[in-house]
Amino acid sequence: MSKPKVLVTRRWPEANEARLRDLFDVTFNADNHPLSPAELQDALRNYDAVLPTVTDPITAEVLSVEPLRAKLLGNFGVGFNHIDINAAKARGITVTNTPDVLTDCTADIAMLLMLSAARRGGEGERLVRAGQWTGWHPTHLLGTKVTSKTLGLVGFGRIARAMATKAHFGFDMPIVFFDPYPPTQAVIAHYGAKQVDRVEDVLREADFVALHCPGSPENRHLINAERLALMKPTAILINTARGDVVDNEALIQALKSKTITAAGLDVFEGEPNLNKGFLELDNVVLLPHLGSATLETRIAMGDRVIENVVAFFKGETPRDRVV
């Protein structure tokens, strides 16, 4: 039997690409450029499976291609807000993702942003590199203490809980959270977490607010000017979820006017073309979507996609089927 024809939209770690070469009739994106809508449509016309990632907007328009050959979108990543899931379903395409394997590393980046924004790590690094450090003094670059402060979580899924583990058990931080689909009481009790009924309650109570909800039309601009105004003036916002969960312009205004103290961001509206207003601010730590970016995790993500594709072509239900 001939091997399934598979297109991988971006380069993966070498270990994954070697496995893909063994298993499938695979095509890689040699120069690793983000594919255009027309290139994505060509892929759907010419391959049995397309393995996209967060930089590939697979819209209803892209999915309307004729003739359609692809039967599977094996997404490299847990978030799938870049894929029009309803349109995929309507066209009979199976979509899979890669949960679990990136949980810890993404939570680590949320911790890094929380610590860095609180302790002014970015500012300190820039100062030293610019040769402008004139020496220690008692009031130099004073930040905000993290240990024992309250961490507010918007969403209490896998990544939020991994952050809660590090923050609660490592930094002695009480946890308050809002999630429309909360975990069991046993899980909540494990963290000694306080569950609240509305996102506004988290914003009012927390010293640090970390966003861990999915990117979706419903969550677009969940954190807007009105909600930012509910946060403590000493509070710090962390976003490792999706850029458009926060109204980026409203956040820039809130950081400028000191409505909140600082922010740590790994994701942006319109990334990589982030709002230039962020670049003028010292009280924001900016990372280029590094949540899952460790070699171990990226290999594990690739392996998880491969597992899903193999199962699909064996006629089984892939472990991480989304639709």
> Which residues lie near ligand DGY (CB under 6 A)?
54, 77-79, 102, 291-292
Q: How far is the CB of 237 from ligand DGY (least distance, A)?
A: 18
**SS3 for 235-276, per residue?**
CEEEECCCHHHECHHHHHHHHHCCCCCEEEECCCCCCCCCCH
Q: How far is the CB of 170 from ligand DGY (least distance, A)?
A: 23
How far is it, in rounded angstroms, from Cα 107 to Cα 292? 9
C-alpha closest to that of 146 among 109, 106, 122, 117 = 117
Is residue 129 part of the annotated active site? The answer reads no
User: Between residues 183 and 291, which has the closer beta carbon with respect to ligand DGY?
Assistant: 291
User: Between residues 183 and 215, which has the closer beta carbon with respect to ligand DGY?
Assistant: 215
Is residue 271 part of the annotated active site? The answer reads yes
16: which residues sit within 8 A by CB, 6+ positions away? 298, 299, 302, 303, 305, 306
Q: How far is the CB of 79 from ligand DGY (least distance, A)?
A: 3
User: Between residues 115 and 290, which has the closer beta carbon with respect to ligand DGY?
Assistant: 290
- Contact indicator for 160, 136 with CB cutoff of 8 Å: no
Please provide the DSSP assignment of 201-226 as one string. HHHHH-SEEEE-PPP-TTTTTSB-HH
Cα-Cα-Cα-Cα dihedral sign, residues 22, 52, 300, 306: negative
Q: Which of 212, 227, 242, 304 is catalytic?
A: 242
What is the three-class DSSP state of 154? strand
155: which residues sit within 8 A by CB, 6+ positions away? 177, 178, 179, 211, 212, 213, 214, 241
How far is it, in rounded angstroms, from Cα 41 to Cα 62? 6
Q: How far is the CB of 174 from ligand DGY (least distance, A)?
A: 28
User: Between residues 83 and 228, which has the closer beta carbon with respect to ligand DGY?
Assistant: 83
- Contact indicator for 114, 208 with CB cutoff of 8 Å: yes
Q: How far is the CB of 232 from ligand DGY (least distance, A)?
A: 28
Q: How far is the CB of 226 from ligand DGY (least distance, A)?
A: 27
C-alpha closest to that of 41 among 55, 57, 62 = 62
User: Between residues 78 and 167, which has the closer beta carbon with respect to ligand DGY?
Assistant: 78
Q: Which of 168, 212, 269, 271 is catalytic?
A: 271
Is residue 289 part of the annotated active site? The answer reads yes
User: Between residues 152 and 302, which has the closer beta carbon with respect to ligand DGY?
Assistant: 302
- Contact indicator for 180, 153 with CB cutoff of 8 Å: no
Residue 216, judged by CB atoms within 10 A of its CB (0-12, 13-18, 19+), counts as middle
- Residues serving a catalytic function are 242, 271, 289
